[in-house]
């Protein structure tokens, strides 16, 4: 709650300029870093630990594997928390066999209930960001299962008349091989041709390693309404100017410092990236 007044100063300026800001609300689930026995348990879909912390969860302390967290017995309680957060802003992980898991319809239920609760607060000014390809955070499903689940979810979410839906493309570097018994966890497939046709209300955005040249082509050919450049905005304070002048986008993300370090200036790896000379 202490962040709300500070962010209000920023959002007020954006609103005065005639634009809007969207706050990304998410639940870290089994990736939550907390002390065992703390005031709030670390809830997750099912009591299944995530593997590979030392390979891909380098923003959390310790290199050991995750411990088992507390299973969510009633996901509707988390839906209520999402709604509260909205007001402030103004298969590997889940094995539910009840109404929250199993079929595509049941798997989509939690996300859809969250979206409905947010729409109650903001109306159509609600968006959705999803990663059908998975991979990172030790997540993934077989291809057909992935397509069936996300096709249903996107189709139903579009009925809520959301502002836009962002499709996060599969990124190999976020999907390390964790053990010798299996390959990558993710399911790389073409997102736009698979899912964009399922929407008639929400605008479609794409994100995940998109270059300026590809972005121009995707917008020009009406495959997307817009493109996000994700961390490139963070690592390049002059990103828009670089794209306009054809400059390289080559600053590397300082991942070890991205989420802050004890006794380290918080600007390091966050606001200290260099611009180029024009």
Q: Give the start-to-end residue ranges of the domains of the chain.
A: 22-27+40-213, 231-278
Which residue bears the tokens 């121009």? 216
For a pLDDT cut of 90, what percent of the chain falls above it?
A: 40
CA distances from 135 to 183, 218, 248 (A): 10, 24, 28
Close Cβ partners of 184 (under 8 Å, ≥ 6 residues apart): 135, 140, 172, 175, 176, 177
Cα(180)–Cα(141) distance, integer angstroms:
18
Position 136 scores a pLDDT of 67
Whole-number average pLDDT of the chain: 79
Mean predicted confidence (pLDDT) in 112-131: 92
Position 96 scores a pLDDT of 52
Structure tokens at 78: 């988390």
Question: Taking CA 195 as the corner, what is the angle to CA 117 and CA 137, rounded to the nearest 5 degrees?
Answer: 70
Q: What is the DSSP string of 19-75?
A: ----------GGG----TT-SS--EESSS-PPP-HHHH-TTSS-SSPPPP-EE-S-T
CATH superfamily of 22-27+40-213: Aldolase class I (3.20.20.70)
163 by DSSP, 3-state: which?
coil
Tens of pLDDT along 220-235? 999 999 999 988 998 9
Going by C-alpha positions, the residue among 218, 43, 196 that lies closest to residue 132 is 196
Contacts 24+ apart (CB under 8 A), 5-11: 7/89
Range name among 35-39, 58-62, 68-72, 130-134 with the lowest pLDDT average: 58-62
Structure tokens at 255: 């991942």
Range name among 99-113, 151-165, 214-228 with the lowest pLDDT average: 99-113
Position 65 scores a pLDDT of 46
Mean predicted confidence (pLDDT) in 16-41: 68
Phi, psi of 241, rounded to the nearest 5 degrees? -70, -35
pTM over 0.85: no
248: pLDDT confidence band, cut at 50, 70 and 90?
Answer: very high
- Contact (CB, 8 A) for 170 and 186: yes
């Amino acid at each position: 709650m202490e962040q709300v007044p500070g962010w209000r100063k920023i959002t007020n300026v954006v609103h005065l300029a005639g634009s809007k800001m969207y706050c990304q609300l998410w639940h870290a689930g089994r990736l939550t870093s907390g002390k065992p026995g703390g005031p709030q348990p670390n809830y997750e879909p099912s009591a299944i630990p995530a593997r590979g912390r030392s390979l891909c969860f380098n923003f959390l302390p310790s290199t050991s594997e995750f411990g088992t967290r507390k299973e969510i017995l009633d996901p509707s309680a988390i839906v209520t928390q999402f709604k509260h957060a909205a007001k402030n802003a103004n298969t590997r992980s889940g094995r539910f066999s009840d109404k929250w898991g199993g079929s595509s319809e049941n798997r989509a239920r939690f996300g859809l209930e969250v979206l409905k609760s947010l729409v109650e607060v903001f109306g159509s000014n609600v968006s959705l960001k999803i990663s059908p390809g998975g991979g990172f955070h030790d997540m993934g499903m077989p291809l057909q299962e992935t397509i069936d689940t996300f096709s249903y979810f996107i189709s139903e979410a579009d009925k809520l008349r959301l502002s836009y839906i962002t499709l996060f493309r599969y990124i190999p570097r976020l999907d390390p091989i964790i053990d010798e018994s299996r390959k990558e966890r993710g399911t790389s497939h073409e997102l736009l041709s698979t899912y964009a046709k399922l929407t008639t209300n929400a605008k479609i955005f794409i994100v995940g390693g998109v270059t300026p040249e590809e972005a121009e082509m995707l917008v020009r050919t009406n495959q997307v309404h817009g493109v996000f450049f994700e961390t490139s905005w963070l690592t390049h304070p002059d990103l828009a100017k670089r794209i306009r002048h054809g400059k390289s986008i080559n600053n590397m993300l300082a991942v070890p410092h991205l989420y802050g370090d004890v006794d380290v200036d918080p600007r390091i790896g966050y606001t200290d990236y260099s611009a180029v000379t024009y």
